[in-house]
Amino acid sequence: MPFDTWYCVASCCGTAIRSGHGLAERHWDPSGKSKMTGRFTPETERFLSRLEDDFRITVPDIRGIISNFHREMKKGLAGEKSSLKMIPTFVGRPTGTEKGEFLALDLGGTNLRVLQVALEGKGSARRGAAEMFAIPPALMGSDGERLFDFIAACLAKFFPKNARNVCRHCSLAFTFSFPVEQVSLVSGKLIGWTKGFTAAGVVGNDVVRLLEEAMGRKGIGFVHVAALTNDAAGTLAAGCYADSACDLGVILGTGTNACYPEAIFRIDKLPGRAFSGGEMIINMEWGNFDRVAATRYDQILDDASENRGKQLFEKMVSGMYISELARIIILEMITRGFLGNGANPSALTSAYSLTAKQMAAAVQGRDFFADAGIPDASVADRAGVREICRIVSRRSARLAAAAIAAVVSWMDAVLDGRHVIAIDGSLFEKYPGFQYEMRNVQRELYGDKADRIVLKPVHDGSGIGAAIVAAVASSERN
């Protein structure tokens, strides 16, 4: 049975897991509380029950998160100290009529992409040649000049292979999916690295200038950066280009972030508020939101992280971190003798050695235990790990839905209109049951009005979407 079907049946009717220790059975009541009966072992049952309680996000919790989001949004827009940076992007939403050909350079994780994008108007965008380059781990932690020289060298390699079209593709959309304080459409200073990057000499500096200097050193100084953006803004732009009802772009993958269009008169910190049009896309950097109660496991993860005390919401929601939370919990259960029969799970002792993809496999009943150093895992072990992954990912989905509800209610307090939420990222697209749980939160909050919020997968916001941002920028300048 496909997991989405299993999850829905389980949520309504309960599901039974037969193990070597007896029958372990879970039932869900209407409040969403999972009740265990049967025999995992009494100790394991108590552990999982406490874990579920610790990670539960109730409707009152969500309403509190929404209120806290609104307060932080207001402070961020006013330029006051806030966990939500609310960064102006100096560009508005597309109309769907923009046309042109652009290069897109996408740096958002361990891979770098270069691609050509043709915008044809009427909401139609076509991707041309594209190349992917793996960023050596050593460069992620080296110095900024070396990192940007590598980026420019990858861009330079792209040109000879695509010589027939390259002369018409000198306007570059630069997707830099890290927290940046933008001061214009083509200038922004890195606030702080995330996603494992620590390259020195970049924080506090203009990343567009660093890129342009590196392109000059590599002999491609003729390339013009038309727009600096991030994957969330690109996702919003791609969603808007295809559907004018789209008013929120969200990333739910390795990291998490969101962008939405804000009325100019509400952006109190905007210098002189000199911007054409009545709205501007705001980069929330909501991964840094810090008004959600943390569990002991969240604290363990944060204490061991390279950016301690920062990106706390991201550490509860994103694929990179929920898998680490699950690893910490699984390892504790093994250490306490609740899983693995005293096995030595060598592969799980390294930080971030468990992936969200493996978690997804676990909740679907597939086996990753042999790879984790537990070749003789029992059915009860698998059931226990499946529960851990379900509990951690369910909180992630409910928090993501709460954040979306916060932004939608900021724009439309009584949910009068239709809102299309463009979402990019493998956690949303591929993790079993994730979308179901997000929609469940919408139903809990809004009842019959829940269908006015449409969660729509949008692919390649960091590529095609970035080109659309550049096209909007060019149109506004003209």
Asked if residue 301 belongs to a domain, the reply is no
231 is catalytic: yes
Asked if residue 152 belongs to a domain, the reply is yes
The rounded Cα 399 to chain-centroid distance in angstroms is 12
Read off the pTM: 0.87
CA 202 – CA 107 distance, rounded (Å): 14
How many structural domains compose the chain?
1
Of 171, 177, 318, 462, which one is the catalytic site residue? 177
Question: Three-state DSSP class for 108?
Answer: coil
164 is catalytic: no
* Cβ pair 228, 180 in contact under 8 A: yes
Tell me which residue range forms the domain holding 223.
93-242+459-477
Asked if residue 157 belongs to a domain, the reply is yes
Asked if residue 155 belongs to a domain, the reply is yes
Burial 426-463 (b: 16+ CB within 10 A, else e): ebbeebbbbbbbbbbbbebbbeeebebbebeebebbbb
**465 CB contacts (<8 Å, ≥6 apart)?**
229, 231, 233, 234, 235, 236, 237, 238, 239, 241, 249, 458
pLDDT in tens, the chain (478 residues): 333 333 333 333 333 333 333 334 443 333 333 444 335 888 899 999 999 999 999 999 999 999 999 999 999 999 999 999 999 999 999 988 888 888 899 997 788 999 888 888 877 888 888 899 999 999 999 999 999 999 999 999 987 766 445 444 478 899 998 889 988 889 999 999 988 889 999 999 999 999 999 999 998 888 889 999 999 999 999 999 989 999 999 999 999 999 999 999 999 998 765 555 689 999 999 999 999 999 999 999 999 998 899 999 999 999 999 999 999 999 999 888 888 765 666 678 889 999 999 999 888 878 777 766 667 778 888 889 899 999 999 999 999 999 999 999 999 999 999 999 999 999 999 999 999 999 999 999 999 999 999 999 998 888 899 889 988 887 666 5
Q: How many other β-carbons are positioned within 10 Å of the β-carbon of residue 54?
A: 16
Parallel/antiparallel/unpaired status of strands 453-457 and 419-424: parallel
* Cβ pair 388, 51 in contact under 8 A: yes
Asked if residue 192 belongs to a domain, the reply is yes
Question: Three-state DSSP class for 105?
Answer: strand
Of 34, 83, 106, 113, which one is the catalytic site residue? 113
Asked if residue 463 belongs to a domain, the reply is yes
CA 17 – CA 25 distance, rounded (Å): 6
Asked if residue 102 belongs to a domain, the reply is yes
**Pick from 227, 129, 160: which is nearest to 468 by CA?**
227
Of 106, 149, 206, 231, which one is the catalytic site residue? 231
Asked if residue 164 belongs to a domain, the reply is yes
Find the CATH number of the domain harbouring 191. 3.30.420.40
